[in-house]
Every structure is written in structure tokens, then in C-alpha cells.
Amino acid sequence: MSSRVSRIILFALIVAPNAFAHHGDVIFDLESVVTLQGTVSRYLWRNPHVYIYIEARDETGQLAEWQLEGDPTPIMTRSGWTSARVTLGEPVTVRMNSDRDAKRRHALLLSLRKADGVLLMPRSGGRASTVRATGLAGVWDGLRGFNDRRFIYGTLTDKGAAAQAAYTEVDNPVSECTPFPLPTIVAAPCLNEIKILEDRILVRSELFNVERTFYADGRQHPENGERTNQGHSIARWEGEVLVVDTTLYADNRAGNRSGIPSGAKKHSVERYELSEDRTQLIVEYVIDDPEYMSEPMTGGIVWDYAPDRQPMPFGCNPENARLY
């Protein structure tokens, strides 16, 4: 195991939670697992999240409907789900993390067991690679590495702390189908495809079908350039390690995760390095955003080589995005 992989596993002890809802631990109580028995009343197979609605008896004995949030359709497809895998009216038993607001019947889906005993989990399609990569080009899967990913935050500025304290899901850009920038765009449990061209590197994330361009022709960041959601990236090679420098990020209300905005001064550096056995890609980054963070944020994730897989279409559904 390489030293970089070891560091990621070590830091995982103090990392972010495993919820990949665009709400995460801000909304869900990830320490409490609740079991619920009921029948399926609705099943919405759409992005950015699949939703399953369960009718069950509440504490007063009255029928109530629970809204369970799953993962995006590509992740659930590779985990054995389909648009017809669950049928209306069928009895199920689910495990879930409830909403922190006890008044809301909303939860993060952990597993669903059908009456015939079949167990479905939203995120069970990850696997280790048995194939060695010859370089960074190819398809990489972030699902297994997702649980060990890390986000290490420095101290927030007063402005950053105030913004995080005031954050609600109404502010979440994903509710308008706006893709995540770094760090979330690389730290998601999705497929990522890397293409290496003569003058640039293209990285396409399955999440929101985002394609990032890393210019590797010696150019610098443009002065007074256009600010975009993913920023302007220039790259260089240090041996086999790809180093990416990005500026010109657009304002994003949750651009640094957990309700922490990103602003005009956001600057990031990423490193992409093959593991010693060349079956994994180690992605590490440092993000500096002095308007909201008085110290840089660091983090990382490990992607598994997946040459036999292809990213699936995402297609964010605005109605589903606003369901929360």
C-alpha cells in the first residue's frame, strides 16, 4: 500500500460522513438507524436522487407516508436496481437515517428488503480492480473510495461561519440542477472518465455529466477571465503525477460543502497519482478560499480502475431536485 493511500485511510478517521445526498449530515442523523415496515406508495426513478415513498403506521397508529432518498440512478443501477425493481403496493422493510427535524417524515435510504427476501442497497456496486492501468486515461470508479474519502476543514472566517449557520436546503444550488464544483465533483461515488490529449486532459464525471478541461499547453490563467462553476484549470506533469491548478470559480452557495460558500478568491490544487499496483487512482486536493476559510481545506479519495464500465447519462430532473 502506498504512503498516499495510507494517509487517506488515516485521515478517514476524522472525515465527512457517508451520506451522498446533496444534504448529507446537515440534514440526516447518520448516527441513528431506523427500521420501518410498510408498503411502497410511490417510486420516482429520476436524478439527482431516486425517491421511494413508504406508507407505514406512525406512533399514533395512523397511516403516514415517508419520503426515502436514494442515490442517483447510475449508482443504483450498478447496485442492482432498475426503474421496475420496486412496485407500488408491495410490502417492504427499510433501514434509514431519519431527518434531524423530527417533524419531517424524510430519511436517507440505507437498504430495502422485499417480501421475497431480496435485499437491495443503494450503493453496493463497487468492486476492486484486477486490471492494472497503464496510465491515468480510462474509467475510474469512486464508489468504494467514497466511504474513506476525507474533507479536512480549517477554521472558517466570520463570514464563512455566518453563511454556514444560515444555510438551508432552499439555498442549495443542486436544487436548481447546478453541478457541484471541487471538492464534491471528485469525491462522489460515481464513475469518472479521463481522456489525455496532446494539449489538454478531459475529465468527465458521471455526476451531472460534468466535463472538466485541464489545459496542459503551457498557458496561464487569463486575467479577468470568465468565472465558471468548475473554474479555469491548467495542468502540468510531475513524472506520472498530474497536478491541476484551478481559479476563476463562480460563486456557489455550497461550493465548499456543508453550506460553506465559495467565492471569487477560491483557488485549488489537485494531484492525480496511480497507486503502486496501478489498480487505483489517488486524488488529493487543497482548496484555499480566504473569503470563507481562514485556513485551506484538504481532502482526498481513491478511485478504482474500471475499464469495463462506462459512465451513464445523468439528466437532472428539476422537479426531483426540488423535492427536498
Q: How much is the pLDDT for 11? A: 35
Grid coordinates standing for 204?
468527465
Question: Could you tell me if residue 308 is left (phi over 0), alpha (psi between -120 and 50 degrees) or otherwise beta?
Answer: alpha
Catalogue the E-assigned strands of 32-99: 34-44, 51-57, 63-69, 91-98
Q: Which residues contact 121 (CB under 8 A, 6 or more apart)?
A: 79, 110, 111, 112
pLDDT digits (tens, 9 = 90+) for 99-130: 998 889 999 999 999 999 999 999 999 999 99
Burial letters 99-117, b for 16+ CB under 10 A, else e: beeeeebbbbbbbbbbeee
183 preceded by cis ω (within 30°)? yes
Q: Which fold has domain 3-20+128-321?
A: Lipocalin (2.40.128)
pTM: 0.90
- d(Cα 92, Cα 87) in Å, to the nearest integer? 10
Contact 161, 167 (CB under 8 A): no
Contact 124, 81 (CB under 8 A): no
Q: Which H or E element spans position 283?
A: strand 280-288
Q: How much is the pLDDT for 59? A: 84
Q: Which H or E element spans position 321?
A: helix 318-321
Contact 238, 269 (CB under 8 A): no
Q: How much is the pLDDT for 82? A: 97
Count of CA atoms in the C-beta half-sphere (13 A) of 17: 18
Q: Is the pLDDT of residue 25 over 90?
A: no
CA-wise closest residue to 248 among 261, 236, 230:
230
- d(Cα 45, Cα 49) in Å, to the nearest integer? 8
What are the residue ranges spanned by the domains of the chain?
Answer: 3-20+128-321, 24-120
Q: How much is the pLDDT for 323? A: 83
CA-wise closest residue to 123 among 89, 90, 95, 84:
95
Mean residue pLDDT of the chain comes to 91
- By percentage, how much of the chain surpasses pLDDT 90? 80
Residue 19 banded pLDDT, cuts 50, 70, 90: low
Q: Who wins on pLDDT, 138 or 3?
A: 138
**Rounded CA Rg of the chain:** 20
Q: Which CATH architecture has domain 24-120?
A: Beta Barrel (2.40)
If you ran DSSP here, which 8-state letter would residue 67 be given? E
Single-letter amino acid code for the residue at 189? P
- d(Cα 72, Cα 201) in Å, to the nearest integer? 26
If you ran DSSP here, which 8-state letter would residue 178 be given? P
- d(Cα 85, Cα 82) in Å, to the nearest integer? 5
Residue 324 banded pLDDT, cuts 50, 70, 90: low
Residue 10 banded pLDDT, cuts 50, 70, 90: very low
Q: How much is the pLDDT for 16? A: 43
Q: Is the pLDDT of residue 146 over 80?
A: yes
Contact 14, 288 (CB under 8 A): no
Contact 117, 100 (CB under 8 A): no
Q: Who wins on pLDDT, 169 or 122?
A: 122
Residue 7 banded pLDDT, cuts 50, 70, 90: very low
- d(Cα 133, Cα 100) in Å, to the nearest integer? 43
Count of CA atoms in the C-beta half-sphere (13 A) of 112: 28
Residue 281, SS3 per DSSP: strand
pLDDT digits (tens, 9 = 90+) for 51-90: 999 999 988 889 999 999 999 999 999 999 999 999 999 9
